[in-house]
Amino acid sequence: MIRTIEWYQRAAEGRPSPCRFFPSCSADESPAPLALSGPPAARAAEALRTAALERPAAEVGAALDAGADVDAADADGRTALMMAAFNGRTEVVDLLLERGAQVAARDRFGRTALMFASTGAFAETAVLLLENGADPNAADKEELWTPLMFAAGEGQMEVVEALLGYGADPDRVDRDGDAAADHAQTKGHLEVARALREAAGG
Among 37-46, 54-63, 164-173, top mean pLDDT goes to 164-173
Average confidence (pLDDT) over 95-120? 96
Domain assignment present for 114: yes
Over residues 22-29, the mean pLDDT reads: 38
Task: Check whether residue 69 and residue 125 sit in a common domain.
Answer: yes
Would you say residue 2 has pLDDT above 80? no
In a domain, 54, yes or no: yes
User: Residue 74: which domain range?
Assistant: 38-134
Regarding whether 115 and 153 lie in a shared domain, the answer is no
Task: Report how far residue 83's alpha carbon sits from residue 97's, in angstroms, rounded to the nearest whole number.
Answer: 13
| Closest listed residue to residue 148, CA positions, set 182, 107, 102, 105 | 182
> Which CATH number characterizes residue 176's domain?
1.25.40.20
Q: Inform me whether the pLDDT recorded for 32 exceeds 60.
A: no
Name the pLDDT band for 50 (thresholds 50, 70, 90).
very high
- Beta bridge mates, 173: 179
Q: pLDDT-derived band of residue 40, with 50, 70 and 90 as boundaries?
A: confident
Over the stretch 85-95, which tens digit does the pLDDT of each residue have?
999 999 999 99
Please tell me whether residues 120 and 42 are part of one structural domain.
yes
Residue 43 contacts residue 35 (beta carbons within 8 Å): no
Question: Could you tell me if residue 25 is inside a domain?
Answer: no
User: Above 70 in pLDDT, residue 119?
Assistant: yes
For 68-128, give the secondary structure using H, E and C.
CCCCCCCCCCCCHHHHHHHCCCHHHHHHHHHCCCCCCCCCCCCCCHHHHHCCCCCHHHHHH
- Higher pLDDT: 41 or 53? It is 53
Look at the chain and report how many structural domains it folds into: 2
Residue 13 resides in a domain: no
The verdict on residue 83 lying in a domain is: yes
Q: State yes or no: pLDDT of 10 exceeds 70.
A: no
Task: Indicate the residue among 119, 134, 149 that finishes a domain.
Answer: 134
**Where is the domain boundary, 108, 134, 160?**
134
Residues 199 and 115 occupy one common structural domain: no
Q: pLDDT grade, residue 202 (50/70/90)?
A: low
Q: What's residue 79's pLDDT?
A: 96
Regarding whether 192 and 141 lie in a shared domain, the answer is yes
**Mean of pLDDT values over 13-42:** 46
Same domain assignment for residues 62 and 96: yes
Of 134, 157, 183, which one is at a domain's C-terminal end? 134
pTM of the model: 0.84
Residues 126 and 143 both lie in one domain: no
User: How far, CA to CA in Å, does 103 sit from each of 16, 29, 77?
Assistant: 27, 28, 13
Q: How confident is the model at residue 41 (pLDDT cuts 50, 70, 90)?
A: confident
Residues 101 and 184 in one domain: no
Q: Note whether 66 and 130 are same-domain residues.
A: yes
- Cβ proximity of 179 and 144 under 8 Å: no
DSSP 173: B
Establish if 10 belongs to a structural domain: no
What's residue 42's pLDDT? 85
Contacts of 164 (CB under 8 A, 6+ apart): 148, 170, 199
CA–CA distances in Å: residue 185 to residues 46, 167, 189? 38, 21, 6
Closest by CA position to 49, among listed 13, 7, 9: 7
Query: Does 189 fall in a domain?
Result: yes
Quote the pLDDT of residue 24: 37
Provide, rounded to the nearest whole percent, the portion of the chain with pLDDT above 90.
74
Domain shared by 123 and 144, yes or no: no
- Specify if 159 maps to a domain: yes
Report residue 136 CA to chain centroid gap. 12
Whether residues 74 and 117 share a domain: the answer is yes
On whether both 69 and 94 belong to a single domain, the answer is yes
Residues above pLDDT 70, as percent of the chain: 80
